[in-house]
Structure 1
Amino acid sequence: MTAPRLEADLHGLAGVIRMPERGAGPVRAILFRLLVAATALTVTVFVVYLGRDGYRDVNEDGVSLLDAFYYATVSLSTTGYGDITPASDKARLINVLLVTPLRLLFLIVLVGTTLELLTERSRQVFRIKRWRDQVRDHVVVIGYGTKGAAAVDTMLSDGADPATIVVVDSDPERLRLAGGRGLVTVSGSGTRSEALRAAGVPRAASIVVAPNRDDTAVLVTLTARELAPNATIVASVRETENVHLVRQSGADSVVVSSETAGRLLGIATATPAVVNVIEDLLTPDEGFSIAERPVEPDEVGGSPRHLTDIVLGVVRADELHRVDAPLVDALEPHDRLLYVKKVTAPPEPS
């Protein structure tokens, strides 16, 4: 691809990919600059009015407070009509030492704000290019509704870096919420390969498919699997009857949201405490949660049932085994344990 063609493509992506803002937002930055400009103007008015006896007005009626505002405005904006001028040596010295630096500050603020607004798109293009060159083994979340947002919550609570998560959605409000959490966002439909390519799906390690419709989940999974043959794809569907369609489309794991919710509702009618425990395990903020860790060297050869941690299963050669399976009664060096870990809530800010 030639350089002009690449540059044109990047400028096109600037309206699709949105990098998270760093530091203060643009509105806050502009308000801060306006405050600095107003402060410079106020200081100038105060200095001029305080030394008004050293200024000459063409009307020869003295310099009033309004005249001081007028002189400060035309002076800082470099208009300089010359109808009010410093006449005494003291006024001229103050003008050189104080008013001139304030004039420069005023101009820097105004010109800097204008240049920042003009170069915002160019900065976005540069950041997008750098991100596309560096992004590898990231997670792409397609659909930032209730399920997609919850998936991101879990990943962030488990210590994932927001820079490694990309959200694809067509809803501007959802993209705004995702961007507010420091996530890279891509505006577009997850069923279109252009949007998935923009999100870096071909180089992604994992893909979360969480649309609101099962037929959309099938199409998104097909498109994602075609672009990323080796990525792990986890999809969500509402109905059990659609699980095999999503699996045939290329999903490695499928979560049935409606059936899972129905089972929890059924359990809650007889044993609500069980549902509370399950909810605690699924909520990563505090209490208990299900986690995965490698086997420690001193645990090799032992039984997972005799460990201090409550082990639920053992992953060996990418296959999950129940903790009581005879095959994993003796742990091996490359095994991974699914266990229940204690989660401590972060301290409240003082």
Structure 2
Amino acid sequence: MAKILKRGVALLLVLVMSAGLALGLMRAGAFNPSHDEVQARWGGAPSRFVVVNGVTLHVRDEGKGPVVLMLHSSMSNLRIWDAWADRLKTHYRVIRLDWPPYGLSRDPRPSTGLSGVMQLIEAFVEQEHLERFAIVGSSSGATLSVLYTAAHPDKVAALALSTLPLEAPPPTHVSAAETATIWLHENVVPNYYPKFFYRWTLASLYGVPARLKPETVDWYYDTNNLDGGFARVRAYYQANKKSLWKKGAGTEAAQVKVPILLQWGDRDIVLPTYLADKAVKQFANAPVTLLHYPDVGHYPMLELPDETGRDLDQFLGRVFPQHP
């Protein structure tokens, strides 16, 4: 019995020391992929990198026809649009980009929140000489789309938005395991999350977790663990708490007058379905088409790309009727 106890204690010490070493390496950034490594993996053709106001933007610009500008959600990047872009680029010019602090774009300055991102989008639109276009936005990218449209009504022909927050989102319930991992991240390893965490969290954002593809977990993990990325994200969130989420974007929503497609996953744990009905009322001066997807979560374009992409294509066909 004494030998068994000694072996148990020894094993426990080894496990504790191994865990401590692993945490130390994580904290030192040993597990973080380099930007060059991630760019080589996810930034190949048709990607290009353009400098706008000192920011290096990761952009994909494909197809010909009326312009469709796509703005992703927080913690994601332009890869969320892959399926929709493949569908639309046969008859539209589809432009999508990573907006900082996310993806492969690099802004050397501290984030000023969505207001700073909008200034960057404004500069990009002018630099690319874009005239009148539709904007497709997801989550915080949808909020950004509303802000831009209210400020530039002459530029935007239509909005297609999925799971749109017009005010600070309500608290999201997460599992005990996720809560523990978040605590460890915030208090011990502030610049790293392990891959299993992304698999958990992404699965919880899907209405049907089995639809989550391993490749999605891979690019989510790689781009969010870039060195210094979490510090930039914290600056972004803090800036939004002090500005946008103090007042919301309801005033800007009421200023929008172009046609709107609102696509909502009814199993979204981040933005519950009641917010869809509220958003329709807040778009008081715009014609809104609201489509519900009963078994879909926060990412309609990832989870149900064919059906939601077809609905988007049909909507854009009504906005730009001269194109199929």
Select the structure that is richer in helix: 1
Q: Which has the higher contact order (CA 8 A, sep 6+)?
A: 2
Question: TM-score with structure 2 length normalisation?
Answer: 0.31
Q: Which structure has the greater CA radius of gyration?
A: 1
